[in-house]
Structure 1
Amino acid sequence: MTHKSLTAGLVALVSLVAFEYIAVAIAMPVVARELGGLHLYGLAFSGAMAAAVVGTVLGGRWADLKGPVAPLWTGVAGFIGGLLLAGLASSMEMLIAGRLVQGFGGALVSVALYVVVARVYPEELHPKIFSLFATAWVVPSMVGPAIVGLVVDSLGWRWVFLSVPVLTVIGALILVRGLSGQPVTGGQAEPAPGLGRKVAWAALTAVGAGLMQYGSDGRLPLLVVGLVVLLVALPKLLPAGTLRAARGLPAVVALRGLSAGAFFAAEVIVPLMLISERGMSPLMAGFALTGGALTWSFASWLQGREVFGRTANLVGGTAALALGILAMGVVTFEAVPVAFAYPAWIITGFGMGLIYPTLSVLTLELSKPGEQGVNSSALQVGESVFSVVSVAVTSALFAAAGQGYWAVYAATLVMALVGLWVAPRFQPLSPGSKAPALARLS
């Protein structure tokens, strides 16, 4: 493969964004306790998520209008600056401010990288590149917890934030070399009015997702209000027809949201169920998740080499996702050996490894020049919001059913089965046609 420096730089940045996402989740209990900010614990996550939604929408349009270089380096600067602010925080409020800047910057980086791939790499290499991106997200989930735990115990939580900027600068320098002479300058889209309204809809979407997150612990009015807000705001950020899975790009975005929502909502409950109900140690329960991460990476590798076709990846992957969730749900019964959890999550991870990068590839294939950024941002916004909604709803079901693990697995299984219906609809209505782009900014 050519573009070795560019590929190395891209993968490095993706890995660092992924690692920081996992690291913060692990370190935050210690951070909140030391800074006396347990009452603001949730805001450290929901605030970053809100900033990321706005950054994703703004970054997508910016990359289409001006090229991906400006949003990419702005995002890198924001990511580094937010990490430094958080790592040096003397109060929880200062740390949250850093998380806002970090979330915004990381979102700019993520969407700009998609546009770089579209502008630089030939289409036949896109599966391999997105396979590497998927692995770059999965590997930190396997090694991240141990590294973060060691850093927090030996050096303190601040170095979870302060060490990553150094690595980010190194990755950025490699990327600078890789981008030299590449066709990434200049935009491919015409200016259009309404970007401010689009950003406002993104902010409202983030508010709706945050309300659902806070309402998931039993505050039903917040859950309902958040869902209503999302039903109004989210469609403004997605391709027309996404919520009904219209053929082409809308179905691609819908399937990304459904599969990610089903997987992550089920994954949240897996260790709790294995430890609290089936008596596993935290270490052994963690191995179940590690197995899924490994097969996610392996399946992404297969997708990158196009071992199967696109339809097989999506239909087969979604079927594996549904089967794995069903199998994990069976583990809730005491008559079923608890060791059955390992193959169950291995199957689930394999399914996601086929689905996830395939949808990234299809998003670029179904985008006209000048639409890659806005459509990539729609894909990422849909994934984030669907995941938040799924986790919030299943958490509420879990509480309402009295620690009803079965309710969580049943709900996520339904999402996966709906995804199985959506999966074949990625092909546009007519051969060679492009799926409708994101709704007009005006």
Structure 2
Amino acid sequence: MSGGQLTRKPLVLAVGIVALEFAAAVTGFVASTLLPTVADDLDARDQLGLLIAGSTLGLFVALPLASRVLHRLGPRGTLAAGMLAYLGGLALAASAQVAWVFALGQFAGGLASGLLAVFGISSAIQHLGDRLRIRVVAASSAMWIVPALAGPAATLGLEHLVGWRWTLLVPVPFVLFGRSLVVRAVRDGPPPEAAPRPLARTLLVPLGAAGVVLSTGWWPLAILGAALTVTGMVSILPPGTARLRRGTPAALGAMVLFAVGYFGADSLITVLLTSGFGMSLGQAALVLSAAPLGWAITSLFAAARSKRHFPTVGLALTALGTAVLAVELVSGGSFAVVLVAWAVGGIGVGLAYPGLYLSATTAGSSGFSAAELATAVITAECIGQLLGRAVGGTLSSAGQSGGLFASYVLFAVALVAAAGAANRAREPR
């Protein structure tokens, strides 16, 4: 074991991390399902951006600060600070009477999510061997299956029984359970040896993200925000990431490109199906669930096999599925073809993600501490998501199906580039 901290029970730590991921999935689906009800109750239909932006901005503020918090407070202190922010933010949001108070509570929750995510991933990097760690990644992906299938219906049913404020507290027991397991497995030790990166440049990430999220269609602010975000991201990620240097930097670059392509496409899939293909909401729901189910199930297979070429092959499959959607939009494709194409996209992600994640969180020659590597991989994925959704939203609003076609072509190109970067992520034996 490395880094001075000692792990008494690696399996307990692994289960705790997976439980926290399940709690994150429940939290996400509860919040998104309750959003229309919250907006109506707080008379904030014209402030949806504010209600949604809070958790995203909190996460991006946490990322450049997380390694510093872990360095100063140690594992238990960081976990305690994250739980305090989580519970306090949830209480604030659940008791809010106006939109800005709800957004402040969501901001605290996003801040806590960032701290807990960096802590969990850095603990896994330090204390779990590669074989167990890749299984943790796969199991964490599978934790989204039940919330994806049952979460919206269960949330709406509970909301009718007890109201949205009490329903917002549903994830708390899962978070406390995961936290208790992690605390049992990890104890305090000396802080990480590596010095954190310069703070001023890394804080460009939340500043730029705020510009993108709050631009509300005003493209000059969105472009400026994206530029600041990318500049801050370069400061957080290992040197050589932008050049896709072989090893960890290339893996992190692939993670950014994957997130741009896949999450950008996923964010517009309902619009594509209903507006582009003229499908019903019921058909759209079937297609929408195909990719995450394919991802979750296939990731378990990929973790068990753990082949070095899986990330490249998987991302190529996802690129193919996304490209088929673009082609079908022009040719007027059938429901069956679209369903299969998006399912193949999800299967490709499931095949690629565990191995790619393992490569992105293995120090190699980067010289990063576990906390900084954890911050880097979360930053890569989250900023890729942010940029993919922002670019896709801008292009798709430019002109009906023509904008959607351009968006999905761009997403497919990003995924092809991600497959190439993933191939460079493999260290020579």
TM over 0.5: yes
Structure 1 position 110, deviation (Å): 0.8
Does 2:21 align with 1:10? no
Equivalent positions of 1:36-435 (< 5 A) are: 36-63=43-70, 67-177=74-184, 179=185, 182=186, 184-187=187-190, 189-190=192-193, 192=195, 197-198=198-199, 200-215=200-215, 217=217, 219-305=218-304, 307-310=305-308, 312-333=309-330, 335-366=332-363, 371-403=369-401, 404-428=403-427
Residue ranges of structure 2 left out of the alignment (5+ in a row)? 1-8
* Alpha-carbon offset, residue 223 of structure 1: 2.2
Checking the alignment, whether the CA contact within 8 Å between 1:216 and 1:393 is kept in structure 2 is: no
Structure-1 separation of matches of 2:330 and 2:130: 47
| 1:174-233 residue CA offsets vs partner (Å, 9 max, x unmatched) | 4444x1xx5x421353363x66x42x434321221232234463x221122223322432
2: CA distance, partners of 1:233 / 1:167? 33
Task: State the partner residue of 2:4.
Answer: none
User: 2:205 corresponds to which letter in structure 1?
Assistant: T
Aligned residues: 419
Are the aligned partners of 1:331 and 1:338 in contact in 2 as well (CA < 8 Å)? no
- The CA deviation at 1:387 is 1.2
Moved more, 381-390 or 355-364: 355-364
Residues 3, 189 of structure 1: CA spacing in aligned structure 2 closer, same or farther, 3 A cutoff? closer
Distance in 2 between residues matched to 1:66 and 1:303, nearest whole Å: 36
SS at match of 1:185: coil
Q: Give deviations 1:333-389, integer Å, cap 9, x for gaps.
A: 464212211111111111111222222222333258871110111111121112111
CA-to-aligned-CA distance 1:20-51 (integer Å, 9 cap, x gap): 12321221122122112234321233232222
Could you tell me which amino acid in structure 2 is paired with residue 290 of structure 1? S
Spell out, residue by residue over 1:118-161, the C-alpha distance to the aligned partner (whole angstroms, 9 max, x if none).
23323321111111112224542333222222223333221332
Question: Displacement of 1:315 after TM fit?
Answer: 0.7
CA distance in 2, matches of 1:408, 1:143: 30
2:372 alignment partner AA? V
Q: CA deviation at 1:60?
A: 3.1
Residue 206 of structure 1 aligns with an amino acid whose one-letter code is P
- When the two chains are superposed, the root-mean-square deviation of aligned CA atoms in Å is 2.4
SS at match of 1:332: helix
Distance 1:53 1:211, change over 3 A: same
TM-score by length of 2: 0.90
For 1:105, give the aligned amino acid: A
The Cα shift of 1:284 comes to 2.3
Q: For structure 1, which segment, 321-330 or 153-162, has the greater mean C-alpha deviation from structure 2 after superposition?
A: 153-162
Q: Percent identity?
A: 26
Alpha-carbon offset, residue 173 of structure 1 = 3.0
Runs of 4+ aligned structure 1 residues displaced above 4 Å come to 64-67, 367-370
Q: 1:362-419, CA deviations, whole angstroms, 9 ceiling, x for partnerless residues?
A: 2333258871110111111121112111111111111113342211111101111111
Q: Which amino acid aligns with 2:190?
A: G
How big is the shift at 1:68?
3.1
Give the superposition deviation at 1:259.
0.7
Give the residue type in structure 1 aligned to 2:103. Answer: I
Distance across 1 between alignment mates of 2:48 and 2:310: 39
State the Cα deviation string for residues 60-99 of structure 1 (Å, max 9, x = none): 3443666433222321222122112111112212111111
Any gaps of 5 or more consecutive residues in structure 1? 432-442
Distance 1:175 1:191, change over 3 A: closer
Amino acid at match of 1:229: L
Distance 1:145 1:155 in 2: 15
Alignment check: 8 A CA contact 1:66 1:186 kept: no
- 76-85 vs 225-234, which moves further: 225-234
Counterpart residue number, 2:3:
none
Residues in 1 aligned to 2:36 and 2:88: alpha-carbon distance in whole angstroms: 22
Instruction: Measure the CA separation in 2 of the matches of 1:231 and 1:365.
Output: 23
Amino acid aligned to 1:365: T
How far is the alpha carbon of 1:163 from its aligned partner? 2.2
1:23 aligns with 2:30: yes
Question: Which residue identity lines up with residue 366 of structure 1 in the other structure?
Answer: A
